[in-house]
Amino acid sequence: MHAFLNVKKSAEVSDVFWDVTEEAGLFDVVVKGLGDGEHRAIDDGREFINMSSYSYLGLDTHPKLVRAAADAVLAEGALNTSTSRMRVRFESLRNAEEALSGLLDAEVVTVASCAAAAWAALPLVASGLFTDGEPPLMVFDRNAHFCLNAMKPSVADEAEVTTVRHNDVEALEELCKQHKRVAYVADGVYSTGGQAPVRELLRLQEKYGLFLFFDEAHGISTVGERGRGVVLSEMGEINDRTLIITSLNKGFGASGGAVLLGPRGSARRRTLAIRNGGPIMWSQRINTAGLGAVLASVELHKTEELTDLQRRLQENIALFDSHITTEQHGDGLPIRHVNLGDEGATVRLAQRLFEEGFYSSPIFFPVIGRGKAGLRLMLRANMQKADVDRFCLLLKKWRDQLG
């Protein structure tokens, strides 16, 4: 027992901090959306800017995506087929997957969320279905997202599982030398900041045949030509020894998740995934509204508007970095972690900022390692520069006073 998960222990450790967060008014804030990442709290009417929104390009409120979602529901006359996609599916599902496959130049299948994509895809890799029938040694990066690490018990029923320190390429290479087949599970962009050493990992792939599994939930749309993300930008194009899962909700601005199974036209992999990939074959999927938004977002990704949004995002990231130094300083990615180390100080700082009109997420174990409590912040293209300036000045003021 508890070889890979211990939910009871995790709950016991983290409950006290969640309780403090809730008491500070930073948990379960019910709001009305005002657009562009701004909200009005229902309970007390305060208006604030969300500094913890994953909508890095602001596409979740883009008029074209909102209209496309509404139009899709009205055109289809239903939200779902309410049966397995293997048996009956709307044309909009086929169209969305074909559009995504064209945009990303990969064989794409969609699911209800990025977490569902992890549930669907990791056991398939562990089973050996994508590695010539031989289960690989499954190596997880210690900082891989919870939705990946939570799959370890299921993965361990198919293959041997081990974990290496964050971005430890040397340890991974040693395992590649010792084992015929190895699969490495990591984030392309990590939810607490930073990215995978993609070029080094591609070197190991070329040398040892390493199979790479990336969660690109925070990379797709935010960077790269046509929003291809960190991993595909480094690779050029996906190969048959790489599998990528991603969110279609965060930077992409629509709904659901996707699995990039390999090069476009990987028909056998698609068949294996649809017939054996758990959440892919179940009746829960992206609903019609979400599929309409996906199609609209794909079209927007082909335009200069995406390039302009990416540029504005980079300007806001650089502006933040000019005020606040973090471990992620200068990496060009939208996530920043302001490390305070102390859980109590972190919650108090978040509370002070909220009083000033900025919501920010305090994070602590088990979301992040012990002793690394701090604020997780997300920069967005649709933030006003004056608001970024003001937030940073308040952050420095209250951080220094609390420190």
CATH number of 124's domain: 3.40.640.10
Asked whether residue 140 falls in the same domain as residue 210, the answer is yes
Residue 107 in any domain: the answer is yes
Tokens 């996530």 locate to: 335
pLDDT tens digits for range 56-82:
999 999 999 999 999 999 999 999 888
Asked whether residue 143 falls in the same domain as residue 33, the answer is no
Asked whether residue 173 falls in the same domain as residue 274, the answer is yes
pLDDT tens digits for range 275-284:
999 999 887 7
Task: Give the number of other Cβ atoms within 10 Å of residue 24's Cβ.
Answer: 15
Asked whether residue 216 falls in the same domain as residue 291, the answer is yes
pLDDT tens digits for range 363-396:
887 777 778 889 999 999 999 999 999 999 999 9
Residue 186, SS3 per DSSP: strand
Residue 179 in any domain: the answer is yes
pLDDT tens digits for range 106-150:
999 999 999 999 999 999 999 999 999 999 999 999 999 989 999
SS (HEC) of 12-72: HHHHHHHHHHHHCCCCCCCEEEEECCEEEECCCCCEEEECCCCCCCCHHHCHHHHHHHHHH
Query: What is the dihedral sign for C-alpha 250, 172, 239, 309?
Result: positive
The model's confidence at residue 6, banded by pLDDT at 50, 70 and 90, is: confident
Asked whether residue 229 falls in the same domain as residue 104, the answer is yes
Number of domains in the chain: 2
Of 251, 268, 301, the residue at which a domain comes to its end is 301
Residue 2 in any domain: the answer is no
| Spatial separation of the C-alpha atoms in residues 68 and 149, rounded to whole Å | 35
Residue 140 has which token pair? Answer: 């997880």
Task: State the average pLDDT over residues 30-44.
Answer: 94
Say if residue 285's pLDDT is above 80.
yes
Q: Where in the sequence is the domain holding 328, given as residue range(s)? A: 7-50+304-402
Asked whether residue 230 falls in the same domain as residue 242, the answer is yes
CATH code of the domain containing 17: 3.90.1150.10
List, in sequence order, every residue forming a beta bridge with 32; answer none if it has no partner: 40
Average pLDDT, whole number, for the chain?
A: 94
Asked whether residue 116 falls in the same domain as residue 155, the answer is yes
What DSSP character marks residue 279?
G
Say if residue 403's pLDDT is above 70.
no
Asked whether residue 35 falls in the same domain as residue 92, the answer is no
